[in-house]
Amino acid sequence: MLETIRGARRTICFLSYVYWSGDIAHDVAHALADRARAGVDVCVLLDAIGSLKMPGDVLAEMEGAGVRIERFRPASPLRPLQANHRNHRKILVVDGEVGMTGGVGIAQEWTGDAQDPEHWRDTHVRVRGPVVRGLHGAFAESWLEATGQLLCGDDHLPDLAPLEGGGPMQLVRSRATVGDTNAEALLFLAIASARRSIDLTSAYFAPNAALTSALCAARGRGVRVRVLVPGEHADKDLVRRAGQDTYEALLDCGVEVHEYGPTMLHAKTLTVDGAWATVGSINFDNRSFSRNDEATLCVQSREVAGLLTAQFERDLAVSDRIDPQAWEERGVLQRARETATRVVRREL
pLDDT for 134-192, tens place per residue? 999 999 999 999 999 999 999 999 999 888 877 899 999 998 865 568 999 999 999 99
In terms of domains, do 130 and 223 share one? no
- For residue 173, list its beta bridge partners: 295
- For residue 202, list its beta bridge partners: 268
In terms of domains, do 208 and 316 share one? yes
In terms of domains, do 196 and 135 share one? no
In terms of domains, do 215 and 102 share one? no
Question: Would you say residue 156 lies in a domain?
Answer: no
C-alpha distances in Å from residue 58, one per residue of 1, 17, 18, 85, 207: 17, 16, 14, 25, 37
CA distance 34 to 47: 23
CA distance 20 to 292: 19
pLDDT digits (tens, 9 = 90+) for 22-55: 999 999 999 999 999 999 999 999 999 999 999 9
3-state secondary structure of 170: strand
Question: Would you say residue 164 lies in a domain?
Answer: no
The 10 Å CB-count burial string (b at 16+, else e) for 283-318 is bbbbbbbbbbbbbbbbbebeebbeebbebbeebbee
pLDDT at 179: 56
| 41-47 vs 68-72, strand pairing mode | parallel
Question: Would you say residue 152 lies in a domain?
Answer: no
Question: Would you say residue 288 lies in a domain?
Answer: yes
C-alpha distances in Å from residue 8, one per residue of 52, 114, 281: 27, 29, 24
Question: Would you say residue 154 lies in a domain?
Answer: no
pLDDT digits (tens, 9 = 90+) for 177-231: 655 689 999 999 999 999 999 999 999 999 999 999 999 999 999 999 999 999 9
In terms of domains, do 136 and 181 share one? no
Number of domains in the chain: 2
In terms of domains, do 271 and 336 share one? yes
Q: What is the mean pLDDT of the chain?
A: 96
First to last CA, the chain: 29
Question: Would you say residue 209 lies in a domain?
Answer: yes
Question: Would you say residue 212 lies in a domain?
Answer: yes
**Residue 76 pLDDT > 90:** no
pLDDT at 211: 96
**Residue 56 pLDDT > 80:** yes
Q: What is the DSSP letter of 141?
A: H
pLDDT digits (tens, 9 = 90+) for 267-302: 999 999 999 999 999 999 999 998 999 999 999 999
CA distance 228 to 243: 11
In terms of domains, do 141 and 175 share one? no
pLDDT at 36: 99
pLDDT at 333: 95
Question: Would you say residue 159 lies in a domain?
Answer: no
pLDDT at 94: 99
User: Band of the pLDDT at 342, cuts 50, 70, 90?
Assistant: very high
CA distance 316 to 319: 5
Q: Which is nearest to 170 in space by CA: 211, 202, 138?
A: 138
In terms of domains, do 120 and 201 share one? no
* Full residue range of the structural domain in which residue 218 is found: 169-347
Q: How many residues does the chain have?
A: 348
In terms of domains, do 19 and 67 share one? yes
CA distance 212 to 205: 11
% of the chain surpassing 70 pLDDT: 99
CATH of the domain at 137: 3.30.870.10
Report whether 176 contacts 306 (CB < 8 A): no
* Residues annotated as part of the active site: 88, 90, 95, 266, 268, 273
pLDDT at 164: 81
In terms of domains, do 73 and 214 share one? no
**Which residues does 52 contact at the CB level (< 8 Å), separation at least 6?**
none
In terms of domains, do 74 and 120 share one? yes
Please name the amino acid found at residue 7.
Answer: G
In terms of domains, do 269 and 316 share one? yes
